[in-house]
């Protein structure tokens, strides 16, 4: 869940990148994702760049050595270090991604099945979802043997559960009433 702080930074960064064109938008998104991943894999780096006992200029120097100073994401990181808000980087990256998807008229869909979908099944499901949602669909597949069969589709606040497990649970519930 994003915070007001992360939304403000993500909105500003997105607006600035958008003004500079689609290539800058794509590059900023990639750089931001890479930074966020590095910070999530190295929590000590977040702590180091947030330490009040280390001067802001030293923390900025460390960030510059690791991430450079080219590009909007690197400039954002310098700003976050300067204002003691490095801990928000992951949320900012997530908020930026959401804005990118909206800008590209794309929706992220999570599909959960018991076994991997065949390319044909995936293509048909993608087509059906694009027709229903009137947007480009980007599917992420999850395998969960507990669904037994069928499919669970999730996007935004919507969940369509057409799994065998759901149908068996529903049947069990009706029989016990």
Reported as a single tens digit per residue, the pLDDT across 69-94 is: 889 999 999 999 999 999 999 999 99
Q: Which domains are seen in the chain, by residue range?
A: 4-102 (1.10.520.20), 106-175 (no CATH)
- For tokens 């300067």, what's the residue? 82
Residue, of 15 and 171, whose pLDDT is higher: 15
What is the model's pTM? 0.75
CA 84 – CA 64 distance, rounded (Å): 16
Q: If DSSP codes are grouped into helix, strand and coil, which group holds residue 139?
A: strand
Which residues have a Cβ under 8 Å from the Cβ of 141 and sit 6 or more positions away? 111, 112, 113, 116, 117, 122
Would you say residue 1 has pLDDT above 80? no
């Amino acid at each position: 869940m994003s915070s007001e702080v992360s939304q403000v930074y993500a909105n500003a960064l997105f607006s600035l990148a958008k003004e500079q064109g689609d290539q800058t938008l794509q590059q900023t998104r990639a750089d931001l994702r890479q930074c966020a991943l590095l910070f999530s894999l190295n929590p000590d780096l977040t702590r180091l760049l947030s330490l009040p006992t280390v001067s802001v200029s030293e923390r900025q120097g460390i960030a510059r050595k690791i991430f450079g100073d080219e590009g909007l994401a690197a400039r954002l990181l310098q700003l976050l270090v300067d204002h003691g808000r490095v801990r928000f980087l992951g949320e900012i990256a997530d908020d930026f991604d959401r804005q990118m998807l909206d800008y590209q008229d794309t929706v992220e869909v999570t599909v959960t099945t018991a076994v991997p979908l065949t390319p044909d099944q995936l293509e048909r499901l993608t087509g059906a979802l694009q027709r229903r949602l009137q947007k480009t669909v980007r599917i992420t597949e999850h395998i969960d043997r507990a669904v037994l069969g069928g499919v669970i589709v999730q996007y935004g606040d919507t969940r369509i559960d057409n799994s065998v497990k759901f149908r068996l649970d529903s049947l069990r519930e009706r029989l016990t009433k």
